[in-house]
Amino acid sequence: MTISTQTLLVNGKNFTINADPNMPVLWALRDIIGLSGTKFGCGSGLCGACTIHVDGAPMRGCLTSLKQVVGKQVTTIEGVEAAQLRAKWAEYNVPQCGYCQAGQIMSAAALLATTPTPTDGQIDEAMAGNICRCGTYPRIKAAIKAAATENAEA
């Protein structure tokens, strides 16, 4: 393991850390920087609980190394602009246990940023990598559609 000093741009702020460049960014965010909103789920990039944005694109924090994000903008659930989406999440009673919600919202926010009025198929495709053990998929889709509709009307 090689420890080196790296500067990360997270939620618009620079953080200088000493860590192995191969460390998953998830652990740097949670254990070094102290942003615990991004969750560890499976560690294999399959569940989506660790979804972050890197230069606006959704990525799995458990599979993305520090060296892959140096010089790029990392956005976590703590820094994402998704107030309207969060409001729809609450209005449609999406959260159950809540564990997957940060990753779900990050994937949905990335979708709406690139596709303001997504079709059902586009929503399904964008959200396919996010697992909800509570099975709130119909409510997740309804909340995304409602946020898109409200955005379109604004």
The arrangement of strands across the sheet holding 57-60 comes to 13-19, 4-10, 73-75, 51-54, 57-60
Q: What is the mean pLDDT of the chain?
A: 95
Question: Does 1 have pLDDT greater than 80?
Answer: no
At 74-132, the pLDDT tens digits run: 999 999 998 899 999 999 999 888 899 999 999 999 999 999 999 999 999 999 999 99
**Residue 63 is part of a domain; what is its CATH number?**
3.10.20.30
Question: Does 35 have pLDDT greater than 90?
Answer: yes
* Same domain? 100 vs 46: no
Which of 75, 109, 129 is the last residue before a domain boundary? 75
Name the pTM for this structure: 0.94
For the segment 22-36, the average pLDDT, to the nearest whole number, is 98
Range of the domain at 87: 83-153
Give the Cα separation of 120 and 15 in Å (integer).
38
* Same domain? 20 vs 64: yes
* Same domain? 97 vs 149: yes
Contact at 8 Å (CB) between 33 and 15? Answer: yes
* Same domain? 68 vs 131: no
Number of domains within the chain: 2
- Residue for token pair 């920087």: 33
